[in-house]
Amino acid sequence: MKTKFISLLAILLGLIIIIFPILGLIGVSSLIGLSVMLMSIYLLVVGVSIIDYNTSGAILDLILGILLLLLSISLIFNPTLLGFLAEITLYIAGIMLIIVAVASLINNRSSRYGFYIGIIGIILGVLYIIIGTYLSNPIILGTLIGIWLVISGVLKLLDG
């Protein structure tokens, strides 16, 4: 039951991230902040759900979730922070996506698709950094995180 809930949550959060940039109603800092916040919610839920059988992975997920939550709240409620950290924010989000993917790779070793979830996250994290360097379009950057969440959710559903 936990696995299906987490899978559906990842798909839902990923679709929310993909849909919001299309609406174009949110500012850049809020859009990136929302993307990072939804990723942090996913990590916090995963961390709580796997704490029974993978304590070290759960602690890693919870720490990353809390760090991403603090970053996202700062980006949403302090728009000048994005101006100050514009270059660094793109790299931080891409690096966090890579770190989350590595954590997912480590946590899902026994899962049939866990390896692919981690590898896809690493690839999308690198793409996030490359695209963010040359094309700082928040729609594309937010969509990359949404794609990873949707793929993770679908693969977890197929695994369970």
Is residue 157 scored above 50 in pLDDT?
Answer: yes
Question: pTM for the complete prediction?
Answer: 0.57
Percent of the chain with pLDDT over 70: 85
Structure tokens at 95: 């690096």
CA 93, 69, 133: angle at the middle one, nearest 5? 15
Here the CATH number for the domain that contains residue 19 is 1.25.40
What's the number of domains the chain is made of? 1
Q: Domain of 72?
A: 2-159
Q: Which among 6, 8, 45, 34 is positioned nearest to 141, based on CA atoms?
A: 34
Is residue 101 scored above 70 in pLDDT?
Answer: yes
pLDDT (tens digit per residue) in 124-153 = 888 888 877 776 566 777 777 888 888 888
User: What is the model's pLDDT at position 1?
Assistant: 65
Measured CA to CA, the distance from residue 33 to residue 74 in angstroms comes to 8
DSSP assignments along 77-134, one per residue: H-HHHHHHTHHHHHHHHHHHHHHHHHHHHHHTTTSSSHHHHHHHHHHHHHHHHHHHHH
Backbone angles phi, psi at 24, to 5 degrees: 65, 25
Between 135 and 7, the more confident residue is 7
